Amino acid sequence: MPEDLMTDDEQLEAVKRWLSENGSWVVAGIVLGAAALFGYRYYDSYTNGRDLKAAGEFAAMTAAIDKNDRAGAQRIAEAITHDYSRTPYADQAELTLARLYLDQSQAANAIAALTQVMNTSKDADLKLIARLRLARVLTDQGKPDEAISTLDGAAPGAFAGLYHEAHGDALYAKKDLAAAVAQYRLALASNDAQGPDAAMLQLKITDLGANAAPTVEKATP
């Protein structure tokens, strides 16, 4: 019978029958929906609280560095990477640790920290920064071939000039001076936002007995 032709009593009985047959599913749906909403709000609150705590720890780490308290900065940075590994601050703490490790001549630990950021960070720029710093450390450690391989592993984007310079440094370490000059010239010619120090590049090129720009030979008439 169409619902609009049913009496009030008949409609009431129909509702009772439907609830009797489907009531448990309705209640379950309400409970699940409420649980999901509570879970989302709890997770959102937990995430925001975690990020705030991580931010506070990061500020404390920065303050320790400003006070030249390297031991304190390292302790806080290690805690951030362990306790707040899912926050953006963990990657920054890893980069800080790499610098602190290098200051203590712990190149292996620095390489591990930089490799961690390069391979796992969700921030594309931080991945490129970590890769660049890793290549420089490898060159300093007498591993220029590994440095070049590391640099070639990604498209540098806005860091192209810095990548060319680091590539040139690795080639210089290999005594491939002509190729090093070519990379320094590419770095000098780059106009990306993260460009290298032009004066330093000019000095490197001059020290290798070359001109900043390649010489163009004039055709003889």
**Residue 189 lies inside a defined structural domain of this protein:** yes
Containing structural domain, residue 68: 30-106
**What b-and-e string marks burial along 179-214, b requiring 16 or more CB atoms within 10 Å of the CB?**
ebbbbbbbbbebebebbbeeeebeebbeeeebeeee
**Residue 10 lies inside a defined structural domain of this protein:** no
Domain boundary among 51, 75, 106: 106
**pLDDT tens digit sequence for 185-211:** 999 998 776 778 889 999 999 999 877
Domain boundary among 106, 141, 174: 106
CB 205, CB 172: distance < 8 Å: no
One domain for residues 171 and 201:
yes
One domain for residues 127 and 194:
yes
**Residue 20 lies inside a defined structural domain of this protein:** no
One domain for residues 97 and 136:
no
One domain for residues 98 and 132:
no
One domain for residues 91 and 161:
no
**Residue 1 lies inside a defined structural domain of this protein:** no
Whole-angstrom Cα distance, residue 134 to residue 177? 22
> Structurally, how many domains does the chain consist of?
2
The CATH number for 146's domain is 1.25.40
One domain for residues 94 and 160:
no
**Residue 220 lies inside a defined structural domain of this protein:** no
**Residue 186 lies inside a defined structural domain of this protein:** yes
Angle at 61 between CA 56 and CA 63, to 5 degrees: 95
**Residue 68 lies inside a defined structural domain of this protein:** yes
**Residue 154 lies inside a defined structural domain of this protein:** yes
Among candidates 91, 109, 90, which has minimal Cα distance to 101?
A: 109
One domain for residues 76 and 138:
no
One domain for residues 34 and 87:
yes
Residues near 128 by beta carbon (within 8 Å), at least 6 away in sequence: 154, 156, 157, 159
Domain boundary among 53, 76, 106: 106
Q: What is the pLDDT of residue 69?
A: 92
pLDDT, the chain, mean? 80
**pLDDT tens digit sequence for 60-83:** 888 988 889 989 989 998 999 888
pTM of model > 0.85: no
One domain for residues 70 and 145:
no
One domain for residues 35 and 91:
yes
**pLDDT tens digit sequence for 104-144:** 999 999 999 999 999 999 999 999 999 999 999 999 999 99
One domain for residues 82 and 135:
no
pLDDT level of residue 169 (50, 70, 90 thresholds): very high
